[in-house]
């Protein structure tokens, strides 16, 4: 193997941008790059390690000898070490051996910008490229319209390792196998998007991917980077958007990772009150350090550019925003104004969103933010954080709490359902029933439902009907769409055999039809984030536990009338007020026998009477099925 050759991909402008925290394509410079120098093929290596006294590239090409390929530090005080090693080829395995100035400690680190990593528990980086011929031009050209906020946004949340396993070999499905099975399934059930729990390389399976080490590398558990591109490509060709879970909130302290990278607190905040998560026992990024901000925003841009992601769901935003998040009194320090907001993190999130929306059309950023922090999904020029959407955690908590109750007591808790409408349009909300709600002793969604088997499934159909007709985008975790009874287990497959049951297959049919209802009726999505898109008919019938409302779009003739009966009692001759004359045509009934329901229904067309009711000039008499939701249009 040849000795290392001095070479740089950095210009002076690159360095100035990097130091200022404004270089958002660092992956084009840092990391390992297959290039040609002076007619020789090889790999250029570059790593940021300002507190190192020496940095070597060790790998299978030099027998892991730390003396042979020592990088040179740049003269410009950027802290970047770099060099070109002739003869190194794609597939070479390597690490950085770093000797620290601080204590002369010697560590071996994974490349923070590696494109591909060894299969855990192995921890080395792999020289790779991003060559791939995409076939999703049609999707990418139409994405700006498809992903707009006035379009349907129904998300299927997936953990790739446990969605389905290869039965004969008892192993994960590969990215390419998922590109057949998962794509066909999502298309069949009608979801508009998938959200993939973190696919970036992570060392520890029970973290579900939320403890990242390889921020630029899709996990090798399921194949190569090109295999993952193939999966995204196939989803796009099927008309399905791809949201990636993104974790800029923390990272593990594994010895080969970002923690104490060059012998100093390089990526993590040096103050443990800001740099350590007591809940997750992980490290927190230093959002006030320019180079760290550039690293994180470059990472977001990378997945949108090279993997054609259509959105980023940002994990644990609340933990970033608050200095006292999950900390005891005395375990945090107020900001310069005496408040508890992490001003560096607030600034970082705004800059991240500005960079994403400036560089890409037709993408969305989504915040998992569990507090009342204001204007999370409002533009930064209005003083907001700049996200496209925010998870509606309050709706999720109140709704699941309501559905857990025995139906006889629900009349005392109607406010659990109606309260969400008092703040539903303060943000662009996505209604989530996510993986977090079906683990850690919380039971599955079905397992929360009261009553006998029939009532449990009827309640589940009612919950989903209420969810899909409520304003906002939707998200449902895998397995919930067919009523999996046990909690999610990351180490196993979903219980696909349950689809042999009429009740479970009925739930899947409900979700398929609700997705169609949501997509095909503009009133269900055109104004889903605007108060103009919703009107109560009746919210105060506590005694019967009934809600009735109207979903509105741009055309009044497309309005959808929704009535929910949250008890197992059939309500006959139940009158509701209506805004105009005509006939009511039923377009959905969660009690349909096809779904496992009892088949209580209304006539095909229901006469609308000129009789004032609920403050409306017209009204009609309906039959409300037990534990059911019904939807109508006026013809």
The single residue of 14, 82, 368, 591 carrying the catalytic annotation is 368
Residue 103 has a pLDDT of 74
pLDDT at 194: 98
Is 603 catalytic? The answer is no
Neighbours of 404 (CB within 10 A): 13
Write down the pLDDT at residue 309: 98
CA pair distance 50, 79, nearest whole angstrom: 4
Write the DSSP assignment of 528-551 as a string of letters.
Answer: TTSGGGEEEEEEEETTTTEEEEEE
Kindly provide the residue ranges of all beta strands, DSSP E only, lying in 488-598, ordered along the sequence. 534-541, 546-551, 560-565, 571-578, 583-589
Nearest CA to 493 out of 167, 119, 5 is that of 167
* pLDDT tens-digit map of 519-543: 999 999 999 999 999 999 999 999 9
Closest CA to 502 of 568, 443, 453: 453
d(CA 13, CA 470): 50
pLDDT score of 2: 59
Q: For each of the domains in the chain, give its residue range(s) and CATH number, in order of start.
A: 12-126 (2.60.40.10), 155-524 (3.20.20.80), 531-634 (2.60.40.1180)
Look up the pTM and report it: 0.96
For each successive 10 residues of the chain (635 residues), what is the average pLDDT?
86 97 98 96 98 96 93 96 97 97 89 97 97 98 95 98 89 96 98 98 95 97 98 98 97 96 96 92 97 98 98 97 93 95 98 98 96 96 97 97 97 96 97 95 95 97 98 98 96 96 98 98 98 97 97 96 98 97 97 97 94 96 98 96
Question: What strand order describes the sheet that includes 80-86?
Answer: 31-37, 40-48, 80-86, 72-73
Whole-angstrom Cα distance, residue 380 to residue 216? Answer: 27
Of these residues, 227, 315, 398, 427, which one is catalytic? 315
Q: By C-alpha distance, which of 541, 542, 550 is closest to 633? A: 550
Per the annotation, the verdict on 136 as an active-site residue is no
Are β-strands 125-126 and 80-86 bridged in parallel, bridged antiparallel, or unpaired?
Answer: unpaired
| Residue 230 pLDDT | 98
**pLDDT value at position 104?**
81
């Amino acid at each position: 193997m040849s000795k290392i050759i001095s070479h740089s991909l950095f210009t002076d402008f690159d360095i100035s941008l990097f130091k200022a925290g404004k270089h958002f394509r660092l992956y084009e410079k840092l990391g390992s790059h297959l290039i040609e120098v002076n007619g020789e093929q090889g790999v250029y290596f570059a790593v940021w390690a300002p507190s190192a006294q020496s940095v070597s590239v060790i790998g299978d090409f030099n027998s892991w000898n730390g003396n042979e390929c020592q990088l040179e530090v740049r003269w410009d005080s950027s802290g970047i070490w770099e060099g070109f090693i002739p003869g190194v080829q794609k597939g070479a395995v390597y690490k950085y051996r770093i000797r620290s100035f601080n204590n002369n400690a010697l560590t071996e680190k994974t490349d923070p910008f590696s494109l591909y990593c060894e299969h855990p528990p192995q921890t080395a980086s792999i020289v790779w490229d991003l060559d791939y011929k995409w076939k999703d031009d049609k999707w990418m050209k139409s994405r700006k319209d498809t992903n707009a906020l006035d379009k349907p946004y129904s998300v299927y949340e997936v953990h790739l390792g446990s969605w389905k396993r290869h039965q004969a070999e008892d192993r994960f499905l590969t990215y390419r196998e998922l590109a057949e099975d998962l794509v066909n399934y999502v298309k069949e059930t009608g979801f508009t998007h998938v959200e993939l729990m973190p696919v970036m390389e992570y060392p520890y399976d029970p973290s579900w991917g939320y403890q990242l080490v390889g921020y630029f590398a899709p996990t090798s558990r399921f194949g190569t980077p090109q295999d993952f591109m193939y999966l995204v490509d196939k989803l796009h060709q099927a008309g399905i958007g791809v949201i990636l879970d993104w974790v800029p909130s923390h990272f593990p302290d594994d010895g080969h990772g970002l923690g104490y990278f060059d012998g100093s607190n390089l990526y993590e905040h040096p103050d443990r009150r800001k740099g350590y998560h007591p809940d997750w026992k992980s490290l927190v990024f230093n959002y006030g350090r320019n180079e760290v901000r550039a690293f994180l925003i470059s990472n977001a841009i990378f997945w949108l550019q090279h993997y054609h992601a259509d959105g980023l769901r940002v994990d644990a935003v609340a933990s970033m925003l608050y200095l006292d998040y999950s900390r005891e009194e005395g375990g945090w320090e107020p900001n310069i104004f005496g408040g508890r907001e992490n001003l560096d993190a607030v600034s970082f999130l705004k800059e991240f969103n500005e960079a994403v929306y400036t560089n890409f059309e037709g993408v969305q950023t989504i915040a998992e933010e569990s507090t009342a922090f204001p204007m999370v999904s409002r533009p930064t020029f209005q003083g907001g954080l700049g996200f496209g959407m925010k998870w509606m955690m309050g709706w999720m908590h109140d709704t699941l709490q309501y559905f857990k109750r025995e139906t006889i007591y629900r009349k005392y808790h109607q406010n659990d359902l109606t309260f969400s409408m008092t703040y539903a349009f303060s943000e662009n909300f996505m209604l989530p029933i996510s993986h977090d709600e079906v683990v850690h002793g919380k039971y599955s969604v079905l397992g929360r439902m009261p009553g006998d088997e029939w009532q449990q499934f009827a309640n589940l159909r009612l919950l989903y009907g209420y969810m899909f007709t409520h304003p906002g985008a939707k998200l449902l975790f895998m397995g919930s769409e067919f009523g999996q009874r046990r909690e999610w287990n990351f180490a196993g497959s979903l219980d696909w055999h349950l689809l042999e049951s009429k009740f479970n297959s009925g739930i899947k049919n409900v979700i398929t039809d609700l997705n169609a209802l949501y997509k095909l009726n503009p009133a269900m999505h055109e104004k889903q984030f605007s108060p103009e898109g919703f009107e109560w008919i009746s919210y105060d019938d506590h005694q019967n536990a009934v809600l009735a409302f109207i979903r509105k779009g741009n055309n009044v003739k497309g309005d959808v009338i929704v009535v929910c009966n949250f008890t197992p009692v059939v309500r006959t001759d139940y009158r509701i007020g209506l805004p105009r004359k005509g006939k009511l045509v039923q377009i959905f009934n969660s009690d349909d026998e096809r779904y496992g329901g009892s088949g209580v229904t209304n006539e095909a067309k229901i006469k609308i009477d000129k009789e004032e009711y609920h403050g409306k000039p017209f009204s009609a008499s309906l039959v409300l099925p037990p534990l059911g939701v019904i939807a109508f249009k006026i013809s």
